[in-house]
Amino acid sequence: MSAAASTGTAAPPEPPGRSLGRRWVRGASSRLRTTGIPVAVGLLTGLAVWWLLSVTETLEFLPTPGAVAEEFGEAVTSSEFYSAMGATLQRIGIGWAIAYTAAIAIGLSMARNWIFEAAAHPYVFIGLAVPAPVTILFAVLALGLGETTSLVALCVVVTPFIVTFIYDGARAIDESYVEMSNVFRFSFRERLRHVIMPQLAPALLSGARFGFAMTWKIVVLVEALSAADGIGERLDYFFAFNQSAAILAWVFSFTLIMFVVEFAVFRTISRRLFRWKRATPGEAGEPAIVA
């Protein structure tokens, strides 16, 4: 029995900073135990299976993990890699920003205006149904080779998918809360901040994440078919000379950067936006969004 309990007095409360630090350490330790070990086991298992497949005679085209690691080291130490990466990231940033902005305008307009919804729905459906390579080829035929062609094809392919997220989120807004804000004479800014955005934020974030993930996949295809520089152009070059180890090395390097963007940007934004929500089976404070 502690001294505080034996004397019948309560123990003094911990300083706020120390209590917060201990909770953070406990939370980090719990996340490491629940996610770090399975991730490590999964990665090691994947490497083992990869190595076993690469040493079989039937899969001679598949390089070993060691060969890919060697190519990866050569790639990241060359200036050509950073030049190609910079061109690709620039296209991703510009294309994603244009597609996301257009999708917000189209999705909100479709959700709030039935006439616009009826007029735009066939085009959104066509955009979802047409394969990306077909759109890219038509853009090349119509506009020729160049930066404009890459951005137009990228936006045409990605925008309809983001529209579906924004449209569904806007349609799910509870109108009773909007009416209540009118009764209490909320200003437009207050209504947007306290009523609309909390309901629309999951759709906005989900659309942004999905659109970004799709943008970097499509931009590589666009570069391989129509661009003179970038990661996609390099992959097409390595494919022409049957350099499978170089292909995988450049793909892994690009994927690594996308992982950094996902965890450093989107996960951080998600935790801060939804920290008021109750913890879900996933990460505490983060909505269960699959993007």
pLDDT of residue 106: 93
Confidence of residue 258 (pLDDT cuts 50, 70, 90): confident
- pLDDT at residue number 245: 86
AA letter at 283: E
Residue (of 119, 157, 125) closest to 138 by Cα position: 157
Half-sphere exposure of 81 (CA within 13 A, CB side): 17
Q: What is the mean pLDDT of residues 56-80?
A: 81
Q: How many CB atoms lie within 10 A of CB 194?
A: 12
Mean pLDDT of 214-239: 85
Domains of the chain: 83-241 (1.10.3720.10)
Is the pLDDT higher at 134 or at 288? 134
In this predicted structure, the answer to whether residue 25 has a pLDDT above a threshold of 60 is no
Tokens of 185: 């004479």
